[in-house]
Amino acid sequence: MAPKYKLPAAAYFEESWLRQEKLKLFGASWLYAGQAAELGPTGSYKTITAGLDELVVVRNQEGELKAFHNVCRHRGAQLVQGTGQCSTLVCPYHKWTYGLEGNLRGIPKDPQFTNIDKDLLGLHRASVETWMGLVFVNSNEYPNETLLEWLGDIAQELAPFGAGNLELLKRDTISFNANWKLYIENHIDWLHLWFVHPETLAALDHDQGQRTQLGPHWVSYEPAKAEHAEAYKVSSPLPDIPHIQDNPARYSENGAHFIFPNLPIFTGTSFFAIAELIPLTPEKTEMRVTLLGLRGGDADAFFEIFNDITKGEDAGIIENIQQNVRSKHFSVGPLAHTYERAISDFHDNYLRLMDG
């Protein structure tokens, strides 16, 4: 079947679509929440937004990660912000205090509260699991699938990158004036490589690329052109990662992958870069990039190259489309059979959750 663009223009600018996405898509998905290494000793915590829900992930006494809704059971205040370290979670409003298992431990002025059962007033639970040193959360206490079931075949496909054994080299955040889905659609669009990146990706042999849909997720690899292969190898400002080179050739090629619903990943011989897409408004998106690799190179130089491509070229073209989505003549015509097929698959998986 020919691939088809399945979303209406309103999905790219209406507030009501974004609200439904937060409720039905982000509220029912496993979402990237950082690295396990960020949550070191007992009591380390990190807050994360999952659709309409605000969560906190915390490391308990046993060294396990736990996730709770960051909502006080008294009058709903947020307990903590950002990242930090605590022995108990204390609400800033009236100082109700919760243990690292989410249990309600203390209520100041407690003669004021008679006939309450503290055991029933623990924090509402969410879910947290790790894969390859990466933390994912789900805002439901009992998700339909475990993280590994959700990831399916992509978990094994990306395992050789061994992200859990790489170091955090640098984080960077860029934002752009376009709907978050336009970035995803561009990320998995093979057709644009020739035309949006004629110089920055000139060394790559797009014709030889391999693309594989793995459930709702997607991986792709492309080699350098034969005449550029040597130059391409030494062009990275980061040191090669030996354990990647020990694997089949595709792992050393230029990799662009996608974990549904909002996580592009970029890979190469010397890096594993995770790009989390956060919709700020229907027409503004933040991309938070985490660069993992080995020390000894120049992470700033990596980001200079990376941002020239993603911010300069990719964000530029989707901001261009965003300018048109409200036009009465905006519509999407035929899609390329294989080069744009992943967009059609993305829409199917998106609609499955949005309609479900």
Q: Please, what's the b/e burial string for 251-285 (b: 16 or more CB within 10 A of its CB; e: otherwise)? A: bbbbbbbbbbbbbbbbbbbbbbbbbbbbbeebbeb
- Residue 209 phi/psi, 5-degree rounding, is -65, 155
Q: How far is the CB of 209 from Fe ion (least distance, A)?
A: 12
The owner of tokens 């992470």 is 299
Under the criterion CB under 5 A, does residue 314 sit at the interface with Fe ion? yes
Q: Which does 325 bind (CB under 5 to 8 A by kind): Fe ion, ligand FES, none?
A: none
- Give dist(CA 353, CA 356) in Å, integer: 5
Q: Which does 170 bind (CB under 5 to 8 A by kind): Fe ion, ligand FES, none?
A: none
Q: How far is the CB of 82 from ligand FES (least distance, A)?
A: 18
Of 54 and 185, which CB lies nearer to Fe ion in the complex structure? 185
Under the criterion CB under 5 A, does residue 222 sit at the interface with Fe ion? no
Q: Which does 314 bind (CB under 5 to 8 A by kind): ligand FES, Fe ion, none?
A: Fe ion
Of 91 and 134, which CB lies nearer to ligand FES in the complex structure? 91
Of 129 and 185, which CB lies nearer to Fe ion in the complex structure? 185
Task: Using the rule CB under 5 A, give the single segment among 24-32, 137-145, 171-179, 312-320 that binds Fe ion.
Answer: 312-320
Residues near ligand FES, by CB under 6 A: 72, 74-75, 77, 91, 93-96
What does 285-354 look like in DSSP terms, one character per residue?
Answer: EEEEEEEEE-SSS-HHHHHHHHHIIIIIIIIHHHHHHHTTTTSTT----PPPTTTTHHHHHHHHHHHHHH
Of 96 and 303, which CB lies nearer to ligand FES in the complex structure? 96
Q: How far is the CB of 50 from ligand FES (least distance, A)?
A: 21
Q: Please, what's the b/e burial string for 24-45 (b: 16 or more CB within 10 A of its CB; e: otherwise)? A: bbbbbbbbbbbbbeebeebbbb
Note the residues at the interface with Fe ion (CB under 5 A). 314
